[in-house]
Each structure stands twice: as C-alpha cells, then as structure tokens.
Amino acid sequence: MGGGAILRYSLHRLAILLVVVFFLFPIFWIALMSLQTNESILRIPPSMVFTPIFDNYQALITGKLITQAGSLDLPFMKNLFNSFFLSAASVAVALILGVPAAYAFARFKFRLGENIAFTLLSFRFAPPLLVLLPLSLIYQTIGLDNSYVGLIWVYQLICLPLILWVVRSYFEDISPEIEHAYRIAGHNWGQSFLRIAIPLARPGIAAAGLLAFIFAWNNFVFALILASADKQPVTVGALAFVTASGIQYGQIAAAIILSILPTLLLALYAQRYLVEGLSLGAVKG
C-alpha cells in the first residue's frame, strides 16, 4: 500500500468511527446517567468516572422514591405494562385481521382488495391528528375514551398496513402450485391456508409482527390524545414523568433506558427483516 492508500484507509475508518460515535453516544450517555446519583450527574465538568448505582432502577421498579423529603409514588411500571399490553394486543389483532386479508390480496386479484390495501396505505401517510382529533370526540360520545379497546383500535392504523403489505409480499412469493397440490390432495381451502400458506410465510409474518410491535411501542401521539395517565404507554408516560419528577435526572434517564430497551433488543433480533419491513417490501434486504 502506498502512502495515499493508507491515508485513505485511515480516513475511511475515522469517518466510520465518527458516525458510530454520533449515533451511539446519546444512548451510551443516557445509560451512564441512569447509573449515577443526581450529585454525580450535576458535576462540572461531566465525568465518566463514577461508582455505578442501581437506585434509579430500583426506585422505578418498586414504584417508590424515598428521599429526605419523604416518599413519592412512581407509576412508571404501569406505563411499561401499558406499552407491552397495547403493543402486543394491537399486533395480535392486526395479525388476525391482516393475515387473511393479505392472503386474499395476494391470491385473488380483486378490485375491493386493491382499494382496501391502498386506502390503508395512504392513511399510513396521512397526518394522524386528522383522524385522532375527531376520534377523541367520537370516543367521548361512545365511551371508548381512555380505554384499551379504543387505543388498540386506533393502533391498527400503524400495525395493519405494515402487516398487510409485508405479509402480502411473502404470500406472493409462495408458488400457488404448492397450494394447488395440497388442495388436489384432498384438503379444503382453510386447511391449505393454515398448513401451507401460513407456515411458508411464517418468517414474513414474524418479521412484520415484530416491526409492528416496535412501531406501536414507539408511538406517541395516539395515546397522548386518547389516553389518560392510567392507560398511557411509556412514550407519553416518560414525558409526564419529566414534568412530575422535576430534577430527578437519574430516574428520568433510567426510565428512558427501560423504555427504549425492549424495542432496541427486538430490532437487533429482527434486523434481518428490518429493511424489507421498513420499506414495506419495496427493498429486499
């Protein structure tokens, strides 16, 4: 290698390093904050040398913050549960509604199917408040405001298009001949759907489900408008928490880490399918 090549190689490496630092540093730094006392956080200059403590996490998990001034209730675990419950239930509903529809759209080319698929897709890109603001008034009238059912229903706006389009492309990749062979062998339509189509599309269904879970988890505006404190997921809860706990920065950091950890782990687990899912199947990863 000549000098120019070495220089170019080093610059390339340096550029990658800078990129990694920019994108990972915030997560890293907040994780460090979550392990410090407030005194340690407030040091000037900031330092990475400290004795890690787990009091912040302990306070969040037990739901009780003990200070000199007395004890404070932290509803954060309830938010965490809400996030899990809302995301999981929304994905489950979206799978039950979306997988048969995705199959129908992939196998039978029919007008109504295309219309449904494109309506859902175009509302995926419509401003959520357009639907949410009137929905909040409707929900108040019909008593669905601040209910899990009502939230799960609107979460379909996030989960259903994703599942519909990603799973559809997986169904389209399965040769219809294989299902034909199964029908000819003497199985009815339902058996062929359950024992051939679904097992063969399983990777796509799993990937779409995981991604839908992540997007549901990360959603903020739906619950901000439609849920009160006891039904709020972590995204909304953490914001309220900042206002409520004021200067308990260590606990805020810990709450953020607990809130983002599930999706980050899921993303790493499902990274193989992320490209396809994020582009709704337009780009094969």
Footprint of another protein on residues 14-33 (CB under 8 A)? 15-16, 19-20, 22-24, 26-27, 29-30, 33
User: Which of 35, 41, 91, 226 forms a contact with another protein (CB under 8 A)?
Assistant: 41
User: Which of 74, 80, 226, 253 forms a contact with another protein (CB under 8 A)?
Assistant: 253
Task: List the structure tokens of 119.
Answer: 């309506």
Examine residue 42 and tell whether it contacts another protein (CB under 8 A).
Answer: yes
Q: Which is nearer to another protein, 43 or 64 (CB)?
A: 43
Binding segment (CB under 8 A) for another protein, from list 42-50, 56-64, 65-73, 74-82 = 42-50
In the bound complex, what is the minimum distance in angstroms from residue 63's beta carbon to another protein? Answer: 20
Examine residue 53 and tell whether it contacts another protein (CB under 8 A).
Answer: no
> Per-residue string for binding with another protein, 158-197, x by CB under 8 A?
--x---x----x--xx-xxxx-xxxxxxxxxx-x----x-
The residue count for binding another protein (CB under 8 A) is: 114
User: Which of 86, 91, 120, 151 forms a contact with another protein (CB under 8 A)?
Assistant: 120
User: Which of 37, 58, 61, 100 forms a contact with another protein (CB under 8 A)?
Assistant: 100
Q: Which is nearer to another protein, 12 or 64 (CB)?
A: 12
Binding segment (CB under 8 A) for another protein, from list 51-59, 60-68, 84-92, 120-128 = 120-128
In the bound complex, what is the minimum distance in angstroms from residue 265's beta carbon to another protein? Answer: 9
In the bound complex, what is the minimum distance in angstroms from residue 145's beta carbon to another protein? Answer: 13
Binders in 206-225 for another protein, by CB under 8 A: 214, 217-221, 224-225
Examine residue 143 and tell whether it contacts another protein (CB under 8 A).
Answer: no
Q: Which is nearer to another protein, 61 or 224 (CB)?
A: 224
In the bound complex, what is the minimum distance in angstroms from residue 36's beta carbon to another protein? Answer: 10
Burial of 107 (0-12, 13-18, 19+ CB in 10 A): middle
User: Which of 131, 206, 229, 244 forms a contact with another protein (CB under 8 A)?
Assistant: 131
Give the DSSP letter string of the chain.
Answer: --HHHHHHHHHHHHHHHHHHHHHHHHHHHHHHHHTS-HHHHT-SS--S------HHHHHHHHTEEEETTEEEE-THHHHHHHHHHHHHHHHHHHHHHHHHHHHHHHHS--HHHHHHHHHHHHHHSS-HHHHHHHHHHHHHHHT-TT-HHHHHHHHHHHHHHHHHHHHHHHHHHS-HHHHHHHHHTT--HHHHIIIIIHHHHHHHHHHHHHHHHHHHHH--HHHHHH--GGG--HHHHHHHHHHHHTT-HHHHHHHHHHHHHHHHHHHHHTHHHHHHHHTTTSS--
How distant, in Å, are the alpha carbons of 13, 42, 69, 252 from that of 52? 32, 15, 24, 16
In the bound complex, what is the minimum distance in angstroms from residue 147's beta carbon to another protein? Answer: 15
> What distance, in Å, lies between the first and last C-alpha atoms of the chain?
33
